[in-house]
Structure 1
């Protein structure tokens, strides 16, 4: 951010921030005037009632125009005897926006001009009031961006800045027509969602005597499918509604506008905005106590749009994908724009969930640790890659303890920063989580394979898949003289075959997301598994495949005390804890059964689809949609889980004939290892030149075998118990 003509006084206290006071102006006035005030967050009368009562006026003297506000852009200066002194805390509204193109800047302020990005200029002009000034906190101007020490200390206050703001204004520029469309669309989505939930509740009550899913889980015969020929001019939502013949299992059956309705244009424009792809926005949107969306000349409370988005995510037959697709693609609405919308909508899901949990979840909702939150940064963007870490500090339970390690010094590189934080996590006994996010990459061979690429994570790490989350590696130590990591582990198997197809991206078309690529990866992987195993009970293979593909949650383990005979008298807290675990395990069991049913339905669907293709009915002219009508919700649930879990991974089989979900860079001959104290398998590859004397492994002078970490793997939990029993651990060195 260029700031020619703008100089900053040092902030007086560690809890001080600058407030930009935006001068009033008429709509046709192009120039902006503003000045700064100091505001001490520790004197906020609402947050700290014992502080000095607020307000000693807020007017400006010695103005040079009719507004009474200086025309020139003044900077904090010592008040003269004629100027009023202000309470140490001044209320303000915080802006949440995207800086915009740094090359596209506008000069404001007359003689003492500074340059700001066009996006910020348009936002400030739209927020300017006609007859009074407005107190705003704007990160690009209220923080001295050229002072990396000030940035470090101000960043530590970001959580408080957004929590203590009277209002947080999120800038989502839309046309007047777009705002009108959104005002009509959101209530319709909310109404459809309410009707859907009401219908599901009645359906569950009516079917409570028929078993959880209406038929045995081991049923192999009654797979009902229906072939529905889709009209090329018909939206997918209409096809799905016809396919289910009024059974109303999805949101589309409750009055949701079809995706060819012009009302969706505004929806698509919002989630295509860079706003939902920027890293810092996550914190700003989640922490605001009072969040409003500002569309350029209209304002709305944020929660209704968030709830509408949630309904589409959870209850739509197309998982919200078709509503982000352009019904009639044009040069302006191309494939890249569609990808932006899908990424933006996916990021919004995380942001909105965080905000709703913080605001309505109550005290029982625990905040994630920083290392856990970092597992989800892959689709967010940051101009400075170090912000992939720093922007999360305010969203995590332990973020405040890392603020001393923030550095924007130009000599502190991305690799140095990521290595420093990886070491800090390991020192905090979070080495398992670090390794879950790490992995060797051919394009960056000098990067330590155990240090995650947080600037470009290829895949999120599902918390439920990492069963050993929070476990401590028994022996792990960073070599202070190098970037190597020393730990102990046991090689339990080798990869024998691995699928050559990887699901890196779903194909994006004008109609939305084409799942053909996923089906190819899925079918080839499953076929490879069955062809690689010696003949055995198909149900045994099915069960292993199910756990690897769906990766269901595991039940809460009872404590040793809970497993013993109950005491004669148990207090309320003990009973509550016991009841809570039992309820959680019942929910896990229901979800696992639903996923298992969905997997069986999915296999049946693929067989039916294959028969349709072999019969030649799936031509370019007629799009044939084979729809499962027996258990559509379970079918959809499994499909979503499998897409997520296969992303950037490969199906494989080990020499011991265990089915494994391996990292995408895994190769035949790679080692599967269990590190001491951890029950999650990892894939390693011998590093550097090897010799026959070391059985294909490179041994160092101190007896450690040197490997590169390829990444975490997943297989059915009992497999780890069987293979790790009685094994001897050896010293391993990761480089």
Structure 2
């Protein structure tokens, strides 16, 4: 797009001068459909504060550019930008705005970086921000009218109570008392038509852009336009809030085909409101002010960005600790930027970035080390949704407060261990020591690990046109019947523990479920699935309660049930294989899957006599692993690993004398220590999987 106007760049852009310089666009008066005339006006933030409006819109595809007159020259711009200028200009007087596609010389990488570094100040200093959702249609007219009529003050107050609650979490369990559009009892045809219109409206491209997070959050006065209709920001937020389900998968069946990307879009709006509440305490009656980059990056994968680096640069601008992070530069490859984020996080003891890391999140053949986050993805389909009570790796250090005793570190791989990767021309041409991060490993503290000996199939791996999850369940149950122990670690029956595992131990409201929940709801669900397999009646029946839990866990689609050597029941991502390990990292909110790695195995395997085989003994000796992705381990999500280690002084690979001491302290599950912990004696069978050590992630 920057090449469209290469022949007139000198007419449009002169070097910027002064303190915090930037350009504004004077949009001349005109009516809809008339030729658009405008002028670029160089200025500084100090001189322009409060005298312009900043815009937030979707760049859109580069096809079919439109022409305007700017500084007397014929300039090409994206169709979406053209539509916004046409819709926003006033009929009787000029309008002064800031629009990134025109006010920044996009062909000048250094200017682009400098202006992006200033963008948070540009939006903060604007008189108001104009959000442009695009031209109107029938759905937008219905949705905007509905949003304008909402009691937005009450709904914003309802939401504020959620983010001010202890824990400051926007997870499912905090949403249970919220107002929900689909609570309406009499869902008539008219109601359903309204629902479809709103959902269609909320899937406009603007909602998915990563830049909207700062653009809509940083200015007190933000107004949303769709054609000539407009509402205040709080009214748009209120519409998104009431459409946001109390838990994933909580929508009625009749709208499933219309959902598309709406859940991610709704979450994006909710995130913006969280930031606004922290920035404008007086406006929303809130007390928290800190915004850390790790919080802003938590949902980066959901958003779209033309340039992968903008996933960090745009969200960094929102953070109060942004000065401690990454210098904005479009000359640094995105891979290096992402690795820099991970390195800084590791050195501060913050492991949250791992949610976007691992081979489950990487493209096939990725040159990134497995521990590097990849924020480019557009969904969370390979992520396990956290629960506020989960902390398998113990308490997480407060953001902004590093925890040196458990901080990770990054080191160069030995020359003999270098990974064989094909570098792009951009990376080959990049100079600087940071390039070495591509051939480095992360040193992370681990407190539990155990080898996976069984993984269930996924639906797309089972042949047959009428296959249902019942076929996979039956195979799992046959395997469970062969286990040595028919009682799980926490004293639940094997059957109950299995059923709880495949729903991540959560009930239909997202709360921690107990065996009684599966005992009361399992049979109804199995019959419901069976009806569909036999005679296609499932769609005519109301889904049972267990189905919402199962859909939310995404087992059989993106995740598998797995069992480890010492009897842990797990949910692991679809890439997981027998021979991988489940593990617990200190300070991480989920369990993880690791794959033993050695230099001779390339990415993950080596061929011996024509057969693929893991060189596990070599990997064990070096403790090198590939990080595959997140996991849920039933009965180990509440810091049980560290508690048992502390109580019995567990060691990783203990000597014979150390092992004798551990067993004597445990007294086979009947000792005083287990009473202190409040754990069932069945946990004693996993003592040999525990012990603090460092693992090296490549």
Matched, 1:100 2:60: yes
Instruction: Work out which of the residue numbers 508, 519, 524 in structure 2 matches 1:608.
Output: 524
Corresponding residue of 2:330: 408
How far does residue 138 in structure 1 lie from its aligned partner after superposition?
Answer: 0.5
Matched, 1:282 2:177: no
Distance 1:517 1:601, change over 3 A: farther
Q: Which stretch of structure 1 is more off in the superposition, 297-306 or 128-137?
A: 297-306
Q: Deviations over 1:84-127 (max 9, x none)?
A: xxx55461111110012222211221861111111111110111
How far does residue 398 in structure 1 lie from its aligned partner after superposition?
Answer: 1.8
How far does residue 143 in structure 1 lie from its aligned partner after superposition?
Answer: 1.6
CA contact (8 A) 1:184 1:263 kept: no
How far does residue 381 in structure 1 lie from its aligned partner after superposition?
Answer: 1.2
Corresponding residue of 2:450: 493
Aligned residue for 1:286, secondary structure, equals coil
Q: Which stretch of structure 1 is more off in the superposition, 650-659 or 369-378?
A: 369-378
CA contact (8 A) 2:216 2:272 kept: yes
Corresponding residue of 1:364: 287
Corresponding residue of 2:376: 455
Q: In structure 2, how many angstroms separate the alpha carbons of the residues matched to 1:249 and 1:106? A: 41
Q: In structure 1, how many angstroms separate the alpha carbons of the residues matched to 2:569 and 2:245? A: 30
Matches within 5 A, 1:582-731: 594-596=511-513, 600-601=516-517, 604-611=520-527, 619-620=535-536, 623-626=539-542, 638=549, 642-643=553-554, 648-675=558-585, 681-688=591-598, 689=600, 696-698=616-618, 704-715=622-633, 716=636, 717=638, 719-721=640-642, 724=645, 725-728=649-652
Aligned residue for 1:389, secondary structure, equals helix
How far does residue 499 in structure 1 lie from its aligned partner after superposition?
Answer: 2.2
How far does residue 341 in structure 1 lie from its aligned partner after superposition?
Answer: 4.3
CA contact (8 A) 1:250 1:315 kept: no
CA contact (8 A) 1:545 1:659 kept: no
Corresponding residue of 1:57: none
Aligned pairs, number: 566
CA contact (8 A) 2:250 2:548 kept: no
CA contact (8 A) 1:20 1:36 kept: yes
CA contact (8 A) 1:96 1:284 kept: yes
Q: In structure 1, how many angstroms separate the alpha carbons of the residues matched to 2:116 and 2:219? A: 16
Corresponding residue of 2:8: 5
Aligned residue for 2:41, secondary structure, equals strand
- In our comparison, the structure showing a higher alpha carbon Rg is 1
CA contact (8 A) 1:502 1:648 kept: no
How far does residue 136 in structure 1 lie from its aligned partner after superposition?
Answer: 0.4
Corresponding residue of 2:114: 153
Distance 1:609 1:183, change over 3 A: same
Matched, 1:425 2:342: no
Aligned residue for 1:378, secondary structure, equals helix
Corresponding residue of 1:535: 486
CA contact (8 A) 2:244 2:263 kept: no
Corresponding residue of 1:434: 353
Corresponding residue of 1:129: 90
Corresponding residue of 1:395: 318
How far does residue 319 in structure 1 lie from its aligned partner after superposition?
Answer: 3.3
Corresponding residue of 1:230: none
Q: Deviations over 1:233-254 (max 9, x none)?
A: xxxxxxxxxxxxxxx9984435
Aligned residue for 2:184, secondary structure, equals helix
Q: In structure 1, how many angstroms separate the alpha carbons of the residues matched to 2:588 and 2:196? A: 49
Matches within 5 A, 1:468-487: 468=394, 469-470=396-397, 474=406, 476-480=408-412, 482-487=439-444
Q: In structure 2, how many angstroms separate the alpha carbons of the residues matched to 1:181 and 1:442? A: 40
Q: In structure 2, how many angstroms separate the alpha carbons of the residues matched to 1:391 and 1:444? A: 27
Matched, 1:384 2:384: no
Aligned residue for 2:126, secondary structure, equals coil
Q: Deviations over 1:325-344 (max 9, x none)?
A: 56xxxxxxxxxx85244543
CA contact (8 A) 1:680 1:714 kept: yes
How far does residue 525 in structure 1 lie from its aligned partner after superposition?
Answer: 9.3
CA contact (8 A) 2:83 2:135 kept: no
Matches within 5 A, 1:180-195: 180-186=141-147
CA contact (8 A) 1:182 1:266 kept: yes
Aligned residue for 1:11, secondary structure, equals coil
Identify unmatched segments of 5+ residues in structure 1. 44-86, 198-247, 327-336, 505-515, 554-589
Q: Deviations over 1:111-166 (max 9, x none)?
A: 61111111111110111111111110101111221222222222222222222222
Q: Deviations over 1:677-702 (max 9, x none)?
A: 7796432212244799x9823259xx
Corresponding residue of 1:303: 234
Q: Deviations over 1:260-291 (max 9, x none)?
A: 75444542332222111111122212323112
CA contact (8 A) 2:593 2:627 kept: yes
CA contact (8 A) 1:20 1:135 kept: yes
Q: In structure 2, how many angstroms separate the alpha carbons of the residues matched to 1:115 and 1:657? A: 64
Distance 1:420 1:646, change over 3 A: farther
Q: In structure 1, how many angstroms separate the alpha carbons of the residues matched to 2:480 and 2:497? A: 13
Distance 1:255 1:400, change over 3 A: farther
CA contact (8 A) 1:259 1:322 kept: no
How far does residue 24 in structure 1 lie from its aligned partner after superposition?
Answer: 0.9
Distance 1:656 1:296, change over 3 A: same
Distance 1:362 1:317, change over 3 A: same
CA contact (8 A) 1:495 1:671 kept: yes
Distance 1:407 1:524, change over 3 A: farther
Corresponding residue of 1:24: 29
Matched, 1:113 2:74: yes
Q: CA RMSD in A?
A: 4.3
Identify unmatched segments of 5+ residues in structure 2. 159-178, 398-402, 413-435, 609-613, 653-691
Aligned residue for 2:560, secondary structure, equals strand
CA contact (8 A) 1:21 1:35 kept: yes
Q: In structure 1, how many angstroms separate the alpha carbons of the residues matched to 2:482 and 2:405? A: 33
Matches within 5 A, 1:241-390: 251-253=182-184, 258=189, 261-264=192-195, 266-314=197-245, 319-320=250-251, 339-341=260-262, 343-355=264-276, 358-359=279-280, 362-390=285-313
How far does residue 591 in structure 1 lie from its aligned partner after superposition?
Answer: 8.0
Corresponding residue of 1:733: 696
Q: In structure 2, how many angstroms separate the alpha carbons of the residues matched to 1:656 and 1:116? A: 62
Q: In structure 2, how many angstroms separate the alpha carbons of the residues matched to 1:617 and 1:427? A: 52
Aligned residue for 2:440, secondary structure, equals coil
CA contact (8 A) 2:391 2:588 kept: no
